[in-house]
Chain A
Amino acid sequence: MIELKYLKNVVTLQLDQQKCNACRMCVLVCPHEVFEIKDKKAHIIRKDLCMECGACEKNCSEGAISVKSGVGCAAGIINGLLRGTEPTCDCSSSGSVCC
């Protein structure tokens, strides 16, 4: 299968290797194989494939990962713009259909 890729050099994902204890959690939760453990440290090997879901940051017990996570969804961003909030695909309140 052709690998689907989105825009280059936009992702906000950052890793502080000093704090990493090589627990592998980031490798286990990432759905796009962005991380790899090498020489007892995590490495970001495929940054452009990151979709900023935030699972790695949430599950890093050492706080070594940061990413501005949110919905990669145009309708959600428009929703946020209209309401003056962060991008949100808040289906429950508007009753509209999404995700």
Chain B
Amino acid sequence: MTKHYVTDVIGTAIGSVERVSTVWSRLDILQTIRVRWSIGRMNYLVTPGVYAVGKPDADSNIFISANFKLSFDHLRRALHGINAWILVLDTKGINVWCAAGKGTFGTKELVHRISEHHISQLVNHKKLILPQLGAVGVSAFEVKDQTGFKVIYGPVEARDIKPFVGTGMEATPAMRKINFTMIDRLKLIPVELSYGRYYLLLIPAIFFILSGLNIHGYSVDAAWQIGGISVLYLLVAYLSGCVITPMLLPWIPFRRFSVKGLIIGWILGGVVLYLTGSLLTIFEIISWLLMMGSLSSFLAMNFTGSSTFTSLSGVQKEMKLSLPLQIIATGIGIIGWIITRFI
């Protein structure tokens, strides 16, 4: 990847260090949009190591980041107008929070980078500023024991860095709290939409093929007609689970994501069946409600992974009941629908 974000190279006590821009170029914005759509997401990297922002010296603060370029970009943009160092850890291109969960943004890697890049020679203080969510993988007291550096946990969001530095390096309760606003959720929807990947073509194709089956053998006309409407129903269920449920999350009753998804799947499914299903038999309608409800419910349940407030114990409890029901309902729905092809 070209380092278009590097403006020049400066000489320091530890040798040459690349200075980075604090303004996003058009390319950065374009890349951000692409990566939000999961394009090249797993290979969007920054080389680990030390970078300079502004005109840093031996007294400047050191901010720690992950080598997922989106994380790095948010940090350098937040440091606009500040003279600072950035130390990028090797998190295999994963963001701070997820990498901390896996341990790659962790004590061991941080300790390694501190000695590898001679950080104690770069600055004459003993402070490192980490994003708060890095605390999932980094143990501040172990870093202190092993390197002498004091870890200060900054705000959750990079955009709060300026007020954080301004108020003497104490994150306010509001800066420490992780939110999950409508905008946060909207940003995640492209990733959710791309979740299905090739199944998005495979499953509709299967429904098209099966739609032609009937008591007289095979009808291409039926395949197009029934197949087309089937794909519409599947799409509605997919959007219910991947887009509408995440968007409306706080306003949909019940705490379980699977139930939230089921409700939306049935509401939208009910509407679309009402509008298009005048020729459907009651068995077909029931079959479709079972399939659409479970698909939407399953996809909504997967949004737990993107949310910022679900616990492992909670998701395990939810899935114990929901996953078998989703599988059974889908199974009955598909069998029911195939049988109705022959009635």
Contacts and interface: CB of A to CB of B under 8 A. Distances in A.
Contacts of B98: 89, 91, 98-99
Given A91-B42, A92-B42, A71 B313 contact: no
Nearest to B95: A99
Interface string B34-58: 0000100110000000000000000
Give the dominant DSSP class at B's interface: helix
Contacts of A59: 135, 138-141
A68 B317 CA distance: 14
A54 B136 contact: yes
B154 to A, nearest CB: 10
Contact of A6 (B132, B138, B153, B311): B311
A65 interface: no
A68 B314 CA distance: 12
Interface in B194-210: 194-195, 197
Interface residues of B, number: 60
A81 to B, nearest CB: 9
Contacts of A42: none
Interface of A: 1-2, 4-8, 10-12, 25, 28-33, 49-55, 58-59, 61, 68-78, 87-92, 95, 97-99
Interface of B: 38, 41-42, 92-95, 97-98, 100-102, 132-133, 135-141, 153, 156, 171, 173, 176-181, 191, 194-195, 197, 249-251, 255-257, 301-302, 304-319, 323
11 contacts: A4-B249, A6-B314, A7-B314, A32-B177, A59-B140, A68-B312, A72-B305, A77-B316, A77-B319, A97-B42, A99-B94
